[in-house]
Amino acid sequence: MNFLFAAFFLFGLGALLAVIPGRTGARAATLLGSASGILGCLCGLIAAGQRLLGGGAEAFFMPWSMPGGAFSLRLDELSAFFLLPLFIVGLAGALYGAEYMKDLGKTKKATGPQPELNESQSNNRCNRGFLRFQQYMKGSKERRRPGLHWTWYNLLILSMTLVVTAANGLLFLFAWECMSLTSFFLVISEYDLAEAVEAGWTYLLATHLGAAFLFAFFLSAQALSGSLEFASFQALGQLSLPAASALFLLLLIGFGSKAGIFPFHVWLPDAHPAAPSHVSALMSGVMVKTAIYGLLRLYSFLPTGPAWWGGLLMGIGIIGALFGIAMAALQRDVKRSLAYSTVENIGLILLALGFWMQSRAAGHHVAAAFALAGGLIHLLNHALFKSLLFMGAGSLMHGSGSRDLNRMGGLMRRMPVTGLLIVCGGLAISALPPFNGLIGEWFIYRALLESGTALSGLAGFFPLVLIGLLALVGGMVLIVMTRIIGIALAGEPRSPEAAKAHEAGWPMGSAMAALALLCLGGGLMPALLLQVAGRAATMLDPGAATMLADTAFAPWWLGLMAVLLLGCILAAYGFLRWRQGGDPVPAAATWGCGFAFPTSRMSYTAESYTELPQSAMFCSCMNPSTEDGRTIGFFPEAKCFSFEAPDPVLERVFRPFFRWAADVCSGFRGLQAGQLHVYLLYIFSATILLLFWVGQR
């Protein structure tokens, strides 16, 4: 606990010191903010590591005057498990951002012209407020203070640490709101871009709608248990099934909106591309996992639920995985594609946790143990390889000035270190050895096979169907990653900026290399991942944790296979280099299919690469909107081809709802009269109503 308090102090100190140098001390602010973040994460890693190795729990309690609240912390195996990726990714992001933030704003024109609101859209009150905010921020651009970024970054890590260690409902909600607000300010770091501000507003609205359900849960839990202390929530285990189911649904919606589960994912594809890349890594790799932590922590206080709780999570998970990876295949923005991939991976985690709940309720303890291990291991692995990929995308933006795949190309030759690290991340997310992505998914497949072969009839058929759907998701992941790697890294430059691309500096490269080594280490030592996940499982399902402690469950052969494969790859690479060094390879032009002077415009684009799955696999609601660019006649005019792949859930459901809600809420602005006597009347009326309510009670 002492190291945890040291981490709190360093994060708070860094948040304060980063703004002291002001506008003229950008270098000093970066040094102070980044160094404090690195040191704080190191202290946090020591605290989490000690708890995972030593087991048990440590608590701290300090009352305060606020009713129902207390500074109550608890560090146990489950908290330490979620703190581990937080501090790893936070440390890598602090090192990465020290160089990345020097060029903030240089890529603002990379994704094309910024959207302008037409006359009909400008009549919407929400859009008018958006325009006023953007104009104000543009007018204050010269007052931008670079240290503010590091203030919000350190406060975000601090608030997430509080979320994971809070043992009081009021403290948890306070930390949750701080996490939402600090991440909002990081999303709009480039506030002179319309897309960044709009993404920030969407994220803020979505996360507060989810927070409303969390407030409802904690108010209900306090009424039922008599306190907001997590220790008193043990009384919730005696609830009836209808009451427990209502609380479970509140948790699912409240935390699901932050986790980005389908269909509450609508903020995620816009917020992650808008944020700086190391912030995107922290949000995608860690922040969405704090919602999974909250769901698991508070679910552990409820009674063992019926099978339909797990079935609901499984249904949401597999639909989200299929939807997320399908949308990822349609995006030309590399960070937006990775953001939709996060929706897919969160779906896989929910699928595993839902299968654990269902198998546990049905008494299939072996399958439940496999599913819980798969969900926890994949959660940890996703934090590592998705952070690596987001940082790799940021390095491509840093070097080529664009995050549009169609404006990249040939970057492996110009950015070999970044390209190699992105390939490592692609292998990990595709669950290919020798990297860590295979381990968690192997346990999920093993759980489904265990249940499918042990059961008979329809009960055994359902897990086998899920295996087929998971295989389909895995195939789509390969398409998405080969698309990113092939379009961005291979071939020839597709723009003048890509032709002048340069390698990232050592802070960015070393942060990505550390994450890549962790991904490789996890694939080579799967038993270590199983041991760490088993520690967290003791807080959720002691029976499953006991089974996971058995060495027979450890897939030692996966590590051996990974080592052998890595050795074969290195041997083959060395042999090819030896052959090329001995015999010079003759240079010759590549056959251009009859074109004497082929150009990069003749190669595959990001859109055409996935044309086959679009036409053969996607439903009509997900088909992209295109404008045909075919020419007609002997002397045709110039034509262009447009391709848009909007999110159908956002465009057809949530965006109309957000605009309607904004119009309704804007109608209450008249209550802000700006006159003191009116506000005194409000206070007097509220006091009278409260006195009446107290008198009635």
Residue 72 included in any domain: yes
Q: Per the domain annotation, does 211 fall within a domain?
A: yes
- By residue count, the chain amounts to 697
Q: Tell me the pLDDT of the chain averaged across its residues.
A: 82
Token couple for 651: 């465009």
Number of domains present in the structure of the chain: 1
Going by pLDDT thresholds of 50, 70 and 90, the confidence category of residue 661 is confident
Beta-carbon neighbour count of residue 321 at 10 Å?
A: 27
- CA dist 539 and 85 (Å) reads 18
> Terminal CA-to-CA distance of the chain, rounded, Å?
42
Amino acid found at 331: Q
Element holding 643 (H helix, E strand): strand 642-644
For residue 72, the cross-strand partners are 61
What is d(CA 619, CA 669) in angstroms, rounded to the nearest whole number?
Answer: 43
Say whether pLDDT at 141 is over 50: no
Distance CA 485, CA 482 (A): 5
Which structure tokens are listed for 479? 């398409």
Across the range 648-676, mean pLDDT stands at 78
Residue 383: pLDDT above 60? yes
User: Is residue 366 a part of any domain in this protein?
Assistant: no
Which of residues 128 and 227 earns the better pLDDT score?
A: 227
Question: Average pLDDT of 675-689?
Answer: 87
- Tell me the mean pLDDT in the region 96-101: 86
pLDDT level of residue 123 (50, 70, 90 thresholds) = very low
Task: Give the tens place of pLDDT for each residue, 299-336.
Answer: 989 888 888 898 999 999 999 999 999 888 888 888 99
Report the pLDDT value the prediction gives residue 237, as an integer from 0 to 100: 84
Ranges of H-type helices in 526-610: 526-537, 542-548, 556-582, 606-609
- Read off the tokens for 319: 């639909």
- Per DSSP, the three-state class of 70 is strand
Pull the structure tokens for residue 144.
Answer: 């931008």
**pLDDT at residue 156 is higher than 90:** yes
Helices (runs of H) and strands (runs of E) counted in the chain: 29, 4
Distance CA 106, CA 138 (A): 16
Q: Is the pLDDT of residue 104 over 70?
A: no
Q: Which is more confidently placed, 103 or 75? A: 75
> What's the rounded Cα separation, in Å, for the pair 652 and 633?
38
What pLDDT was estimated at residue 23?
A: 58
Give the pLDDT score at 61. Answer: 86
- In this structure, is residue 5 part of a structural domain? yes
Q: What is the rounded average pLDDT of the residues 504-514?
A: 89
Least confident stretch, 190-199, 431-440, 479-488, 537-546: 190-199
Q: Within 10 Å of residue 222's Cβ, how many Cβ atoms?
A: 17
Look at 523-527, 557-561, 616-620, 678-682 and tell me which has the smallest mean pLDDT.
557-561
- At residue 557, the pLDDT reads 59
For residue 638, what pLDDT is reported?
67
Q: Where are the beta strands (DSSP E) in 36-156?
A: 58-63, 70-75
- At residue 90, does pLDDT exceed 90? yes
Q: Is residue 458 part of a domain?
A: no
pLDDT of residue 115: 45
408 vs 638, higher pLDDT: 408
Q: Which tops the pLDDT comparison, 481 or 147? A: 481
Quote the Cα angle for 493-496-501, to 5°: 70
Which residues face 74 on adjacent strands?
A: 59
Q: What does the pLDDT look like over 234-252, one tens digit per residue?
A: 888 888 889 999 999 999 9
Q: What integer is the mean pLDDT of 439-462?
A: 84
CA dihedral 14, 17, 23, 26 (to 10 degrees): -50
Query: Is 602 a domain residue?
Result: no
Q: Which two tokens stand for residue 376?
A: 């926890």
Confidence (pLDDT) at 533:
87
Could you please report the per-residue DSSP string of 469-521? Answer: HHHHHHHHHHHHHHHHHHHHHSSS-SSHHHHT-----HHHHHHHHHHHHHHHH
Encode 215-236 in three state secondary structure: HHHHHHHHHHHCCCEHHHHHHH
Residue 390 clears pLDDT 90, i.e. is over it: yes
Q: Domain range holding 14?
A: 1-103+144-241+265-287
Question: Sorting pLDDT into bands at 50, 70 and 90, what band is 607?
Answer: confident
- The region that residue 548 occupies, defined by phi over 0 for left and psi between -120 and 50 for alpha, beta otherwise, is alpha
- How confident is the model over 11-39, as a mean pLDDT? 82
- Please check whether residue 172 lies inside any domain of the structure: yes
- The confidence score (pLDDT) of residue 550 equals 64
Residue 224 has pLDDT above 80, yes or no: yes
Helix (H) or strand (E) holding 120: helix 119-122
Please check whether residue 367 lies inside any domain of the structure: no
Question: pTM value?
Answer: 0.87
| Cα distance between residue 126 and residue 197, in whole Å | 13
Q: For the residues 51-57, what does the mean pLDDT come to?
A: 82
Beta bridge partners of 643: 626
pLDDT above 50: residue 136:
no
| pLDDT for position 342 | 92
pLDDT in tens, 125-134: 455 555 555 5
Weakest-pLDDT range from 471-480, 588-597, 671-680 = 588-597
Tokens of 476: 């789509």
Contact of 348 with 378, CB cutoff 8 Å = yes
Residues whose CB falls within 8 Å of the CB of residue 574, separated by 6 or more in sequence, listed in order: none
Residues 448 and 355: beta-carbon distance below 8 Å: yes
Residue 491 pLDDT: 79
**Among 330-339, 551-560, 630-639, where is mean pLDDT lowest?**
551-560
> How many Å apart are CA 324 and CA 541, to the nearest integer?
29
As a whole number, mean pLDDT of residues 585-590 equals 63
Q: Is the per-residue pLDDT at 582 higher than 60? A: no
Per-residue pLDDT band for 253 (boundaries 50, 70, 90) equals: very high
